[in-house]
Structure 1
Amino acid sequence: MNRTTRLQQITVTLLSAGLLTLSGWGAAASPVQAAAASVAAPACGTGDHGLLQDLQKAHSGADSIPLSFSDVEFLNTNIGRAAGNGFLIGTSDGGCHFQKIYEGQWSFQQIDFPDNVHGWALAAVKDGQAKYLLRTADGGSTWTRLSNQAVTFERVEFLDSSQGFGYNRASTYYTKDGGESWSLIKTPANTRGAAFTSRSNGWAVVIVPGSGYRVMKTTDGGAAWKQVLKSSTSDPIYGQISANDSQVYALLYGDSGMSQTSYSLYGSSNSGGSWTRVIAQETAGGGPAPGSGAAVAKKGPASGTPGNMVLIGKTTAFLAGYQPAAEEVGVGLTKNNGRTWSNQKAVPGFEGVISFTDHNRGWLAARDLNSSTLYVTKDAGATWTARFSFETAGR
């Protein structure tokens, strides 16, 4: 789901030493502070003004796990966050400077901020296996665990400060009180991926063993479901749905082998009324892609395993992809509802996650053998600039 920008202005103050400090993540700017923020800032550099060294020094012991990015989320071209094992950093000037927002026991796996104040995260305690749902009301400086029980959610998505959805492959849950309580949304039998754009409107990928996939749609909160797409394959596994008001993409997985994944990406620009087979990636290790018929592209980004998708407006979609064997992470995109597809040049890495704020500007957090790096692009991924990097080797 594309995240809607509902921001509260945060204050930017530049100190004479060149350090950027914030009046508090989620704090409103006073007229005096707003005037100070309007002063022309120094040119954007590549230095981190000590933040990188301070964080790495704190995690440099023999028993420490090297720092690594796990998620990145930008609300607009200026304000964004990146999280990993025991830290959350943020920027309010498009990545020219970053500030440490949180450092502690929580190892973040996913973050979700519908605005600049309220946020949720799936996180473990240090390198533990149990995953908990956390909430913040101050932009990420402090976090509260919402239950002593571990959750089965694989991702969470919030519409605002109260309403949100929790997903795993088989089930979808809804909250209207900020995650304090959850109710199960009825989805079709054998659901293996779902997404809701509102409490009423949702999508589900359903497997039919030995036959293939079905994409189903509901407009009444799960009370009734209608089939909108059928795709054949002998061994359906699971799928992913990405949707906003009009764009819908269904990512259907085939088999994997030899670090290769076969999959098909179907796209609709009219809420499921009609579909285009955008990508059909067949691999030697994974076999044929699900479905049949001509596809716009025969390979996805990095010719590898698909990652997360970001939808922008009514026409643009980005898909991350990574191939560990080739040590590549890349992004593919369409700006015309899948009529054409471009796979951009990859960067080094084993896996990655993307966040885009418009049709051209985005961020990529990638991890390779030696480092975990946060990249920025201003040309839809045609070129990437490393903005912030942690060393992960030689520790």
Structure 2
Amino acid sequence: MGKTRRTRRTQRLLAAGVCGVALAALAAVPAQAHAPAHRSPHWAPKDTGVPEARLRGLSAVGPDTAWVSGTGGTVLRTTDGGASWRNVSPPGAADLQFRDIEAFDARRAVVLAIGEGEASRVYRTDDGGTTWTESFRNTDANAFYDCLTFFDHRHGLAMSDPVDGKFRMLSTGDGGRTWEVLPSDGMPAALDGEAGFAASGQCLVASGPRDAWLATGGGARARVLHSADRGLTWTAADTPVPAGDPARGVFALAFRDRTHGLAVGGDYRADQPSPQAAARTSDGRTWQSATTPPPAYRSGVTWLPHSRTAALAVGPTGTDLTTDGGRTWRTLDTGSYDTVDCAPDLGCWAAGEKGRVARLEK
């Protein structure tokens, strides 16, 4: 056992060292970083074999293991760095859209299907997707679930657009095997037209054992709601990301701790500009616009592991990097991705339309 522990510790230290080298290289990338990819860490596309699927759900377990989900009831898993993908889609789910997936390791994962009424469902697997159990099916015609998140391997939340004037929260305490609707007493009233965006599985995120954040748009103001007690009570904060239209708002969030967060979004319509498409917070309560935001709408964002200042944002027109905690962003790549996620050992992945998946490589 002692030898095993020493080996695992060595592996973690090596991973952190690789991470540090990669982050240093990323920070040195010039603004015109979509020039020759071999000069710096870059997205290396992986053939998933499902060009018909749009993959908006993504969970990075490590550099070798990742799960993705999307249209057509699609769920895929790789354990060899993307060299091959196993189609582990739940049977009978071809009509569903799996917009969010949260994996605990190579065998255990929870996936969320979005939509009105019974189209919103949750499935769980404990055997790498060989079998799935449907653990929740929405029976309220007014509910539409967008995202889910986990605090740890047991406790998690799922979020629905407002029902009776308030966002609805589901809670699990057994890893997604069972779910219950939380009381709405501690949830602020939703704005007229306010909702979440099921664009990348990042409209609901968690950091630490109890803190969760919910991103909104569609209303007069784009807001971020925060809970410090696993979804029982919430406070709302306005962001400078433009709203006032059903297509505008905050689409994705990332928090590296309970006070430092990033928000990205804009207007998802390709013919509309997205000024102020990113914001940041350093106190967990107030939000400031990025000084130099991404040049267009972005739907996904993630902090790079072992860094206090570096993060990636993705969208249909490209990938952007910040190395100063979200104050300024610069474009690294012009490929189309909807979502991005990094594991603690710098296994960073992106996914999107036409079955596109890529891993960050040197």
Whether TM exceeds 0.5 here: the answer is: yes
1:375 alignment counterpart = 320
Identify if the C-alpha distance between structure 1 residues 8 and 177 changes in structure 2 by more than 3 Å, giving closer, same or farther: farther
Query: Alpha-carbon deviations, 1:261-312, whole Å to 9, x = none?
Result: 75442112343454321127895545xxxxxxxxxxxxxxxx9422121121
- Give runs of aligned pairs for residues 65-76 of structure 1, distance below 5 A: none
Partner of 2:123: 173
TM-score by length of 2: 0.64
Matched, 1:232 2:189: yes
* Distance (whole Å) between structure 1 residues aligned to residue 276 and residue 11 of structure 2: 33
Partner of 1:20: none
Q: 1:242 aligns with which of 185, 199, 205?
A: 205
- Equivalent residue, structure 1, for 2:351: none
Cα offset, 1:139, TM superposition: 0.8
Aligned with residue 330 of structure 1, among 277, 289, 311 = 277
Pair 377,224 (structure 1): closer, same or farther in 2 beyond 3 Å: closer
Partner residue, 2:287: 341
- Quick one: distance in 2 between partners of 1:43 and 1:382? 14
Distance in 2 (alpha carbons) for counterparts of 1:216 and 1:320: 24
What CA deviation, in whole Å up to 9, does each residue of 1:365-395 have, x standing for no partner?
A: 244xxxx33221111121123223359xxxx
Shift of residue 351 of structure 1?
A: 3.8
Q: Which of 134, 149, 152 is the aligned partner of 1:184?
A: 134
What residue identity is the alignment partner of 2:224? L
What is the total number of aligned residue pairs between the two structures? 289
Q: Partners of 2:245 and 2:64 in 1: how far apart?
A: 45
- Aligned residue for 1:186, secondary structure, equals strand
Find the aligned partners of 1:234 and 1:381 in 2 and give their Cα distance: 27
Alpha-carbon separation, structure 2, partners of 1:253 and 1:265: 9
For residue 189 of structure 1, report the CA deviation from its aligned partner.
4.8
Change (3 A) 1:8 1:179: farther
Alignment partner for residue 361 of structure 1, among 310, 326, 329?
310
- Structure 2 segments unaligned to the other structure (5+ residues): 1-8, 115-119, 197-202, 337-362
Q: Distance in 2 between matches of 1:97 and 1:248?
A: 31
The corresponding residue for 2:83 is 141
Relative contact order higher in (CA < 8 Å, ≥ 6 apart):
2
Distance of aligned partners of 1:388 and 1:189 in 2 relative to their CA distance in 1, 3 Å threshold: same
Is residue 212 from structure 1 mapped to residue 166 from structure 2 by the alignment? yes
Using the TM superposition, give the Cα deviation of residue 224 of structure 1 relative to its aligned residue in structure 2, in angstroms.
Answer: 4.3
Q: 1:171 to 1:263 in 2, by over 3 A?
A: farther
| 2:237 corresponds to 1:278 | yes
Q: Does the aligned pair in 2 maintain the 1:262–1:283 contact within 8 Å?
A: yes
* The one of 171, 185, 201 aligned to 2:155: 201
Ranges in structure 1 where 5+ consecutive residues have no aligned partner = 1-5, 12-27, 29-33, 53-94, 124-128, 256-260, 287-302
Match of residue 267 from structure 1: 226
Matching residue of 1:307: 251
State the SS of the aligned residue for 2:83: coil
Larger fraction in strand: 1
Fraction of identical pairs, as percent: 17
- Rounded to whole Å, the distance in 2 between the matches of 1:203 and 1:364 is 23
Letter aligned with residue 324 of structure 2: D
Q: Which whole-Å CA distance do the structure 2 matches of 1:49 and 1:321 have between them?
A: 26
Distance 1:10 1:97, change over 3 A: farther
Q: What SS does the corresponding residue of 1:265 show, helix, strand or coil?
A: strand
State whether residues 200 and 222 of structure 1, in contact with CA within 8 Å, keep that contact through their aligned partners in structure 2: no
Output one character per residue of 1:111-158: Cα deviation in whole Å (capped at 9) or x when no partner: 4221111112236xxxxx745221111111222222486353112121
Structure with the higher helix share, 1 or 2: 2
Contact 1:8–1:116 (CA under 8 A) maintained in structure 2: no
Matches of 1:174 and 1:376 in 2, distance apart? Answer: 33
Partner of 2:334, secondary structure, is strand
TM-score, structure 1 normalization: 0.59
Distance 1:146 1:337, change over 3 A: same
When Rg is computed on C-alpha atoms for both structures, the one with the higher figure is 1
